[in-house]
Chains A and B, each alone.
Chain A
């Protein structure tokens, strides 16, 4: 298994500002992902955080809105930029040790945008 921590656990932000969410894993992992889970909805993959290169974004998500960093194999950040109330959601980091393996999730960051 993997132990994953996220900071902050929750935040309330004003429209137009940006928030950076941190994800720390207790061991080196190959794959790291960022998901969004809106109320009553399934987890939606935002992007795959690639170590040493640009993140791979899913359809509907762009780097300017959700810049991602992954400086090493145990850490990643997701920034939600120029926030609007529609960005209110839970943001989750997950890791996968190998292709086709299980995913381990962080506790999530609950974001409310006023």
Chain B
């Protein structure tokens, strides 16, 4: 069956370090993959989209990689700040014009 896996345990990172979140998927061949941020009590906010023919994409302190062989995306936040604390959702093209979301990883940046 199709599956998207994100680390269900919360990730604690010291301020200033790089936070790396992982998204693995099985039985999909997505044309693109997206990352969203969700704060408590709010809807997800789009961060980055990376297409299957792109290896890496950057936006300010964010970097996303997409390895279609490993079926994995890594999401990096460099020079992390307490304000980066949130849940980060991986989402991918599930076909039929749908986006399939992972459960998300809670990130805590410790001051």
Which of A's residues lie within 8 Å of B, judged by CB?
Answer: 4, 31, 40-43, 45, 48, 92, 94, 99-100, 102-108, 110
Which of B's residues lie within 8 Å of A, judged by CB?
Answer: 4, 31-32, 34, 41-46, 49, 89, 91, 93, 97-99, 101-104
| A43-B101 in contact (CB<8A) | yes
Q: How far is the CB of B4 from chain A (nearest CB, A)?
A: 8
Out of A40, A45, A94, A107, name the residue touching B103 (CB < 8 Å).
A40
Q: Which of B43, B98, B102, B103 has the most CB of A within 10 A?
A: B43
B contact residues around A43 at 8 Å (CB):
44, 89, 101
Q: How far is the CB of A106 from chain B (nearest CB, A)?
A: 5
| A42-B43 in contact (CB<8A) | no
Q: How far is the CB of A23 from chain B (nearest CB, A)?
A: 11
| A104-B46 in contact (CB<8A) | yes
7 A-B pairs with least C-beta separation: A105-B43, A102-B46, A43-B101, A42-B103, A42-B101, A108-B43, A105-B44
Out of A4, A103, A108, A110, name the residue touching B99 (CB < 8 Å).
A103
B contact residues around A102 at 8 Å (CB):
34, 46, 49
| A100-B44 in contact (CB<8A) | no
23 contacts between A and B (CB under 8 A): A40-B103, A41-B103, A42-B89, A42-B101, A42-B102, A42-B103, A43-B101, A45-B99, A48-B97, A92-B43, A92-B44, A94-B43, A100-B93, A102-B46, A103-B44, A103-B46, A105-B43, A107-B41, A107-B42, A107-B43, A108-B42, A108-B43, A110-B41
